[in-house]
Amino acid sequence: MCGIVGYNGSEQAAPILLEGLSRLEYRGYDSAGLAVRNASTPIEIVKAKGRLRVLAEKTNDGEALHGTCGIGHTRWATHGEPSENNAHPHASDDRTVVGVHNGIIENYQELKEKLLRHDYVFYSDTDTEVALKLIHYYMGKYAGGPVDSIARAMTRIRGSYALAVMFAEYPDEIFVARKDSPMVIGVTDGACYIASDVPALLKYTRSVYYIGNQQIARLGKGTVSFFDIDREPVSVEQTEVKWDAEAAEKGGFEHFMIKEIHEQPKAVRDTLHSLIKEDHIDLSGTGLTDEDLRKYERIHIVACGSAYHVGLAGQYIIEDLARMPVRVELASEFRYRNPLLTDRDLVIVISQSGETADSLAALRLAKEKGIETLGIINVIGSSIAREADHVLYTLAGPEIAVATTKAYSAQLAAVYVLAVQAALIRGCIDEEKYKELLNEMEQLPAKMERVLEDKERIQWFAAKYSNARDMFFIGRGIDYAISMEGSLKMKEISYVHSEAYAAGELKHGTISLVENGTLVVGVCTQNHLFEKTRSNMVEVKSRGAYLMGLTNYGNYSIEDTADFTVYIPRTDAHFTTSLAVIPLQLLGYYLSVARGLNVDKPRNLAKSVTVE
């Protein structure tokens, strides 16, 4: 969850580290810290509680720290409250081993007790301090050097980690290691860079290495070598990042989130164009064959958060078009309930970062059971992308705001393509219907742009109801999946208590929560369910609710019921999620702005959940 950066070169490290942390602050913002040194000076550590700007002020934007080698960290607290004492970097008692960490060490208490018996003293409540002192212990006991001491510590540590470590005796080197937490290494002439995520590196290089699981890297000034946990040298393939560096900037928008909402048409267009070639879907890049799509008898979609809501929409779409049973599961539950899987199942794992801890664990469980896996991933070279049997890359580009928008839309596009191709291969639709669905998909980006043109009305509505305390989203079928995502956006960035319900369930308890002034959003994009959902809207209105309707152009009768209505262009019913979600994203965004909240970095949340 935390963000790690590192630099080893000829320039002053601190300003570069602060710049990198500014691009990773979405990963955590409880505290931040730097450790910097020159070849002839001790390691200097500066830490600050709160946002990164506090650390920047404390170090005069890095100018007060001198050294050409350093590491930095922005923290999302897991062990120990947010405080300067618990902030990273952490160090051994003699400050000869200094490091930063992302992840959770599950057996830290056991390791701490071992180190206490060897007269180590602990100043923080973090598991990271335990890891650093364990490395220091092995450094002294075996005198095998940094790679040896880190490898020995890795064999004792249970949990997830990305570590960047500096040693007093090795002044021109940084050592990194990872297990289940992300770490990217960039190399240019005379310099090396480390980061938890690609956007922190794009300003400096696009040539990166994704260090493998349970590997160690030794970084000099422009050189890098890799080792496995047995200290044996290994080779890691260099990857060229295709993202445009400008895509990680705000580009004139007030917040990253509103910029990324506007980038959704492009994200969907790029993803579709990568999969539809010469009026036909081409999945060859994923490794999935027509025979694969025919043989699968059941699909399990496993994901977290918004990606889970993509799965819920995908369940309706795949079952209806391809007539395949689909089960959608929260990744955090999937691995603990001993799922019933067969060798004719496909497990689809959806994750923007490709590093989501629960999703990665679910993928590994499926593979242990011999089940084929497909990752729908936005980050090339990420853990899930490397470990899945098949990979379908979405082309959303870097997404900085914590609340996902364009990655969600790109994932939806990927699911549409899979559903339509499976439907054709399995004989559930004919060639004519196939061409019709492809045409509808290819029109989605232009229709999404039309939806964005209505943003001023939604901004007005959000400002009018910025003091709302409770909201409900209701819908049926795919509209229920849309409601789930709309409700999550409201909770994430506006801090409004919000719930989504299948509209038909209102009378089974939920309607008792509706009172005068309660804001209810009724999603009615499925024409065959329109009248039923509108009836449910009438029920809540009669209890005093204020109604916002969301439906297709032409369904103007909804205005007899709704107090405020947003319309979206008509498309095939299977694809309406791509259009209907945008007004709900905008509603959450503008309501958050009206309440004066931090849109891009909502409290208690981080972009990539890399710990359980």
Q: Which residues are catalytic?
A: 2, 607
Lookup: tokens for 148: 């040896």
In this structure, the strands spanning 470-475 and 3-8 are unpaired
For residue 349, the Cα-to-chain-centroid distance in whole angstroms is 13
> How buried is 180 (Cβ within 10 angstroms: 0-12 exposed, 13-18 middle, 19+ buried)?
buried
Beta-ladder partners of 497: 470
The two three-digit tokens of residue 189, written as one number: 């002439």
Task: Report whether 205 contacts 186 (CB < 8 A).
Answer: yes
Are 536 and 506 contacting, i.e. CB atoms less than 8 angstroms apart?
yes
Query: What span, in angstroms and rounded, lies between the C-alpha atoms of 293 and 318?
Result: 12
The three-point CA angle 157-159-163 to 5° equals: 70
CA distance 6 to 17: 6
> Residue 293: left (phi > 0), alpha (psi -120 to 50), or beta?
alpha
E strand map for 230-297? 233-234, 238-240
Task: Report the half-sphere exposure of 183 (CA within 13 A, side-chain side).
Answer: 28
Using CB atoms within 10 Å of the CB of residue 155, give its burial: 0 to 12 exposed, 13 to 18 middle, 19+ buried: exposed
Comparing C-alpha atoms, which of 600, 603, 588, 183 is closest to residue 400?
600
Helix (H, G, I), strand (E, B) or coil at 9: coil
Using DSSP, state whether 335 is helix, strand or coil: coil
Q: In whole angstroms, give the CA distance from residue 308 to residue 322.
A: 20
Residues in contact with 317: Cβ distance below 8 Å, sequence separation at least 6, in sequence order: 415, 416, 419, 478, 574
